[in-house]
Amino acid sequence: MEKIWLREYPPGVPAEVNLNEFSSLKDILEKSCQRFAELPAYSNMGVTLRYRDIDRLSRAFGAWLQQTLGLGKGERVALMMPNVLQYPVALFGILRAGLIGVNVNPLYTPRELEHQLKDSGATAIVIVENFAHILQEVLSRTPVKTVITTQLGDLFPFPKRTLVNFVVKRVKKMVPTWNIPNTIPFRRALGEGMGQALTDVPLDHEDLAFLQYTGGTTGVSKGAMLTHGNLVANLQQASAWLSPVSKPTEETIITALPLYHIFSLTANGLTFMKVGGHNILITNPRDMPGFVKELSKVRFTAITGVNTLFNGLLHTPGFDRLDFSALKISLGGGMAVQRAVAEHWRKVTGTTLIEAYGLTETSPAACINPLNLPEYNGSIGLPIPSTELSIRDDEGRELGVGEAGEICIRGPQVMRGYWNRPEETTQIMTADGYLRTGDIGVVDERGYARIVDRKKDMILVSGFNVYPNEVEDVAALHPGVLEVAAVGVPDEKTGEAIKIVVVRKDPALTAEALIEHCRQHLTGYKVPRRVEFRTELPKTNVGKILRRLLREG
C-alpha cells in the first residue's frame, strides 16, 4: 500500500528512522546512564533511583550473573515480578551481560509458569518472594538451576526497606509460605557483584534481547524472539513520534501497566529511559484509591494504560481533583479505547486520550495517532516511521482504501519469529515479509487505520459480520454502563446472536433500556438480543477483557 499516511505526520517526525545510531539495547542504556547520570530514572513508593544508580546496580548484577553463575551470551534468565525498582536493575543487568530476558507474569498459574520456563530454557529466575510458592510447585520440572529471590522493599533505604518488607510479610500477610532450597537473595547477589568485573559482551542487531511470550489466552503461550535490532528500531520510532510534544530529560511518565508486558516495557520503561525520562512505577494499580493517592504526589507529563485502567481511574473518587496541568500525553493501547471513556478522559484531564496499536510480535508499536490530536478519532492512528501497513484478504491479496481486511505489518520492529516454532512462524508471516496480525481493519484516504475487530471475535448474524467493538462502543455510551463486552452466542434462527455482558454504573439500569439504547444507534442485526449483568468482567492481568471466557460462560 502506498504510504499515504506520511502526509498526516506531525511536523518534525521523519518518514524513516536511523536504525544504525545504536548497536543494541545495551548501547542505549549505557549511553543514557552516562548522559543523564544525575537525573531520576525510576521511582517507586517514594524512593528514586537515578541513572547513575541504575548504572552501578545493573553493572553489579550483570557481573554476578557472568562471574558467579557463569552464564554466557545468549542464555535465558526469567523475571517474575510486578513494577518494583528491582525490575529495571535486574533486566538491565541481564542485557548488559549479553543474556536474554524472559518476562513472566507473576499471576501465572503453576501450569503456565512451568510451560514458559520449560519452553524458554531459562536456567535462572529472579522472583519476588510473594510468588515463590507458585515456582516451588514446578521448579523440579524446569531447567531452572538458580533462584534469586527479592522482597518488595529490597532497594529502599534503611529503615524503610525493613519496615515495608515486615508489613508486606507479617502484617498484610502477602507472602504465602514457600520453601525452595539454596535460593540467593537479590541483595546478596548485588553485594557480591559490586566486587566483580562486568565482561563486555559485543552485541548487534541480530542478537536476541527478549523471549517475550504472547498472552496464551487462546492456546499455548509462544515466545516471540525480539532482537536488539527490533527493540532499537521501536525505541527510535517511538522517540521520533514523541519528539514534537516531549522534551528530553523533562518528562515524568506514570507506569502502571506491568513492565513484564511489552506495551509498558517498551513505551514506558525503555523509551523514556532512552530520552532521560522519569518512570513512576505503580506496583498495584488495581488498588485504585492507592493509585490515585500516588498520582497526587507527582506532577506527571505522560501516562499509558488500557481502556479499563483509564475507566477505573475516572470512576475513582479524587481523580478528578488531581493536578493535570503538566499532562501532555495520554496513550491507550493493548485493547480498543472506547469513545465514552476517551470523551470522559478529555473532560476530566483536558488531554486527548490517544490510541496506539501494536503486538508483542512488533515490539510492540506499529501505529500511533499524532500526539497533538485535538480529540479522540476512533482510529488506531498512522503507521509509524519505517513501518509499512497492508490490508489483505483471506487469499493474501492487497485491498484498497476503505476495504476491510487483515492488517499486515512490515518493518524493522517485527520479530524474528516464534522460539522453536518454525511452522507457526511461517503461518504468521507472508512471503513478502509482512506479519499477519489477525486483526481486521480498514485504512481511510488520509492513511488512518481503524480496527474492525479480531478475526476470531467476529460475530456472524444471519450472514452479516458484526464486530464486537462497534457494539461495545455504543453500549458504553449509555450513562448507566460502567464496562461492557460483546460476544456471539449460538442462536437457532440467526446462527449467532449478540450478547452483551455489562457491569452497571447505575444499579437501576435494565436490559430493556439498554437494548433500546443500542437500537437507536445500531442497525437491526447489530442490536444485542441478550444482556447479562455482572459485578465484574474477566480480564487479563493487563486489563484486556477475556471475551473467550464470556463466550464459554
How big is the CA angle at 447 (ends 443 and 451), to the nearest 5 degrees? 35
Over residues 391-418, mean pLDDT: 96
Nearest to 194 by CA among 51, 56, 69: 56
Over residues 375-395, mean pLDDT: 96
Residue 6, C-alpha cell as written in the block: 506520511
Confidence grade of residue 415 (pLDDT, cut at 50, 70, 90): very high
What are the residue boundaries of the structural domains of the chain, listed by start?
A: 4-8+23-439, 458-552
Exposure string over 253-292, b if 16+ CB within 10 A, otherwise e: bbbbbbbbbbbbbbbbbbbbbbbbbbbbbbbebeebeebb
Q: Where are the beta strands (DSSP E) in 492-550?
A: 495-504, 530-533
- Contact status, residue 488 vs residue 529, Cβ threshold 8 Å: no
What pLDDT is recorded for position 453? 75
Over residues 324-337, mean pLDDT: 93
Over residues 254-283, mean pLDDT: 97
Residue 414 CA to chain centroid, in angstroms? 16
Which pairs count as long-range contacts for 452-460, CB under 8 Å and 24+ apart, including other chains?
A: 452/404, 455/406, 456/218, 457/487, 457/547, 459/486, 459/487, 459/488, 459/496, 459/498, 460/488, 460/495, 460/496
| Confidence check: pLDDT of 217 > 50 | no
What pLDDT is recorded for position 112? 84
Q: Where are the beta strands (DSSP E) in 251-338?
A: 252-255, 278-281, 302-305, 329-332
| Confidence check: pLDDT of 127 > 60 | yes
Over residues 265-281, mean pLDDT: 98
Percentage of the chain modeled with pLDDT above 90: 88
Over residues 408-421, mean pLDDT: 97
Over residues 96-102, mean pLDDT: 98
**79/212 Cα distance (integer angstroms):** 11
Number of H helices, E strands in the chain: 17, 26
| Confidence check: pLDDT of 553 > 80 | no
Over residues 106-134, mean pLDDT: 94
Asked if residue 159 has a cis previous peptide bond (ω within 30° of 0), the answer is yes
Residue 54, C-alpha cell as written in the block: 541504575
Task: List, for residues 461-491, the tens digit of each pLDDT value.
Answer: 887 778 898 899 999 999 999 999 999 999 8
What pLDDT is recorded for position 551? 86
pTM (predicted TM-score): 0.90
Task: List, for residues 360-375, the tens digit of each pLDDT value.
Answer: 999 999 999 999 999 9
Confidence grade of residue 109 (pLDDT, cut at 50, 70, 90): confident
In a 10 Å sphere around its CB, with 0-12 CB exposed, 13-18 middle and 19+ buried, how is residue 340 labelled? buried
What CATH code would you report for 458-552? Answer: 3.30.300.30
What pLDDT is recorded for position 454? 73
Per-residue 3-state assignment (H helix, E strand, C coil) for 252-268: EEEECCCCCCHHHHHHH
Q: Any residues with CB less than 8 A from the CB of 10 and at least 6 apart, and which?
A: 244, 370, 371, 372
**168/131 Cα distance (integer angstroms):** 13
Residue 238 is which amino acid? A
Strand partners, 490: 496
Residue 127 to residues 49, 74, 191, 519, Cα–Cα distance (Å) = 20, 20, 18, 50
Nearest to 306 by CA among 367, 253, 353: 353
| Confidence check: pLDDT of 398 > 60 | yes
| Confidence check: pLDDT of 500 > 80 | yes
What pLDDT is recorded for position 218? 40
- Contact status, residue 236 vs residue 21, Cβ threshold 8 Å: yes
- Contact status, residue 303 vs residue 329, Cβ threshold 8 Å: yes
DSSP run (H or E) holding 164: helix 160-166
Confidence grade of residue 220 (pLDDT, cut at 50, 70, 90): low
Q: Which CATH superfamily is domain 4-8+23-439 in?
A: ANL, N-terminal domain (3.40.50.12780)
Confidence grade of residue 216 (pLDDT, cut at 50, 70, 90): very low
Same fold, 4-8+23-439 and 458-552: no
Q: Where are the beta strands (DSSP E) in 265-399?
A: 278-281, 302-305, 329-332, 353-358, 365-368, 382-383, 388-392
Residue 183 is which amino acid? T
What pLDDT is recorded for position 455? 73
Confidence grade of residue 335 (pLDDT, cut at 50, 70, 90): confident
- Across all residues in the chain, what is the average pLDDT? 95
| Confidence check: pLDDT of 111 > 90 | no
What pLDDT is recorded for position 492? 82
What pLDDT is recorded for position 215? 56
Over residues 233-259, mean pLDDT: 97
DSSP run (H or E) holding 125: strand 124-128
Task: List, for residues 4-53, the tens digit of each pLDDT value.
Answer: 999 999 999 999 999 999 999 999 999 999 999 999 999 999 999 999 99
| Confidence check: pLDDT of 290 > 80 | yes
Q: Are strands 405-410 and 435-443 parallel, antiparallel or unpaired?
A: antiparallel
Nearest to 551 by CA among 537, 49, 543, 542: 537
Percentage of the chain modeled with pLDDT above 70: 99
Residue 422, C-alpha cell as written in the block: 518454525
**149/136 Cα distance (integer angstroms):** 12
Task: List, for residues 515-551, the tens digit of each pLDDT value.
Answer: 999 999 888 889 999 999 999 999 988 888 999 899 8
